[in-house]
Amino acid sequence: MEKTNGGNLIQIKNLVATVNLNNGDTLVTVNKANMELKRGNSYAIVGKSGSGKTSLISIIGLLNHSYQGEFLYNGMSVSTLTDSQLSMLRASNIGFVFQNYSLIKHLRVWENIELPLLYSKKKMNTRQRKEAIRNLLQSVGLEGKENDYPSNLSGGEQQRVAIARALAVSPEAILCDEPTGALDKKTGKQIMDLLHQVVLKNGIMLLIVTHDLDIAKTCNTIFEMDGGRLQCVKYDS
Ligand SMILES: Nc1ncnc2c1ncn2[C@@H]1O[C@H](COP(=O)(O)OP(=O)(O)OP(=O)(O)O)[C@@H](O)[C@H]1O
């Protein structure tokens, strides 16, 4: 896919998402949202509980394809892609980091990081995967932990594994839903420092959803959601 479009990795225009409630009503979760998300930049979405943050990031992460409006990825309309093309685009280009780390408990650290490499279109042999995993562990400061199980690691260390797993496919975007939500303030700051360091180094677009304004302020741009409406409240040129 060609990487043009003025540095925009993702553009959404007048994006609307709805859910059908049990009582027959329709709830608008995302109401005419507009965003331009560029490579190498970081973005935060803040807003009250229920304001639509997760609904929006799920669409941007290609996890939910049910919306109206325009969604361009690398200048190409996502609505023209088939389900399998969307899955491949997501698996090969987007890394996810969640509040609860979402590691597979019965797999060792290195096996958790290996999983996206096995599903990506960027095929590697066993030796290349081992080398990639060693480099990834080094980049998140977890050398020597490759054979541990997630339950033997601290919360901060588990989130570092999740970041290494997100980085494994050399993604164009990393999307995080409350990445520091389960961590103390100091560890949360270390995780954000790490995220900013790896996205800058690799020219990745970082988008985080957070309740924590101090965490949001570490990003170039802050959006606020309120009742499904999205507004840009801070922008660094
Ligand atoms: N599948 C669904 N069925 C019914 N209501 C839904 C569904 N998904 C989302 N909602 C509602 O849509 C609104 C937006 O939800 P969303 O999870 O996007 O908010 P949020 O800002 O991420 O909230 P939080 O910060 O608590 O995670 C909420 O009122 C939620 O209850």
Is the confidence metric ipTM above 0.90 for this complex? yes
User: Could you read off the pLDDT of 93-105 as tens digits, one per residue?
Assistant: 999 999 888 999 9
Task: Write down the pTM of the prediction.
Answer: 0.92
6 or 49: which leads in pLDDT: 49
Number of structural domains the chain divides into = 1
Predicted pLDDT of residue 120: 77
Task: Decide if 65 is inside a domain.
Answer: yes
197: CB partners within 8 A, 6+ apart: none
Q: Which two tokens stand for residue 37?
A: 């998300």
Whether 194 has a pLDDT exceeding 70, the answer reads yes
Looking at the predicted structure, is the pLDDT value of residue 161 above 90? yes
- Rounded Cα distance, 68 and 111, in Å: 38
Q: Residue 5: CB partners within 8 Å, gap ≥ 6?
A: 11, 72, 74, 75
Give residue 223's identity as a one-letter amino acid code.
F
CB of 227 closer than 6 angstroms to any ligand 1 atom: no
pLDDT, tens only, 103-112: 999 999 999 9
Q: Is 156 in the pocket of ligand 1 (CB under 6 A)?
A: no
**187-198 average pLDDT score:** 93
- pLDDT of 234: 78
Q: Could you report the per-residue pLDDT of 42-68, keeping only the tens digit for each?
A: 999 999 999 999 999 999 999 998 999
**How buried is 145 (Cβ within 10 angstroms: 0-12 exposed, 13-18 middle, 19+ buried)?**
middle
Give the residue-averaged pLDDT of 29-50.
96
CATH code of the domain in which 178 resides:
3.40.50.300
Q: Does residue 46 sit in helix, strand or coil?
A: strand
Q: How far is the CA of 211 from the centre of ligand 1 (A)?
A: 15
Q: Which atom of ligand 1 is nearest to the CA of 52?
A: 18
* Structural domain includes residue 2: no
Residue with tokens 């959404």: 12
Domain membership flag for residue 44: yes
Q: Quote the CA–CA distance of 111 and 117 in Å, as a whole number.
A: 10
Report the pLDDT value the prediction gives residue 2, as an integer from 0 to 100. 44
pLDDT band at 151 (very low <50, low <70, confident <90, very high): very high
Q: Are 161 and 112 in contact (CB under 8 A)?
A: yes
Tokens of 174: 């990393």
What's the whole-number average pLDDT of the chain?
92
pLDDT of residue 5: 60
pLDDT for residue 237 is more than 70:
no
Q: Is the CB of 55 under 6 A from ligand 1?
A: yes
Ligand 1 atom 2 nearest Cα: 19
Cβ of residue 50 lying under 6 Å from some atom of ligand 1: yes
In this predicted structure, what is the pLDDT of residue 124?
A: 87
- The whole domain housing 208 covers 8-235
Q: Is the pLDDT of residue 158 over 50?
A: yes
Q: Which residue has the tokens 């979402």?
A: 102
Indicate whether 38 belongs to any domain: yes
Tokens at residue 48, please? 């009250």
Q: How far is CA 198 from CA 91, 167, 237, in A?
A: 19, 8, 20
Beta-carbon contacts of 140 under 8 Å, excluding residues fewer than 6 positions away, are 160, 161, 163, 164, 167, 194, 198
- 231, 228, 232: which is closest to 16 by C-alpha? 228
Q: According to the model, what pLDDT value does residue 3 have?
A: 45
Could you tell me if residue 200 is inside a domain?
A: yes
In a domain, 3, yes or no: no
Q: What percent of the chain has pLDDT over 70?
A: 97
Q: What is the pLDDT of residue 1?
A: 45
Q: For position 41, what pLDDT does the model report? A: 94
Mean pLDDT of 153-169: 94
Instruction: Look at residue 225 in the predicted model and tell me its pLDDT.
Output: 97
Q: Is residue 56 part of a domain?
A: yes
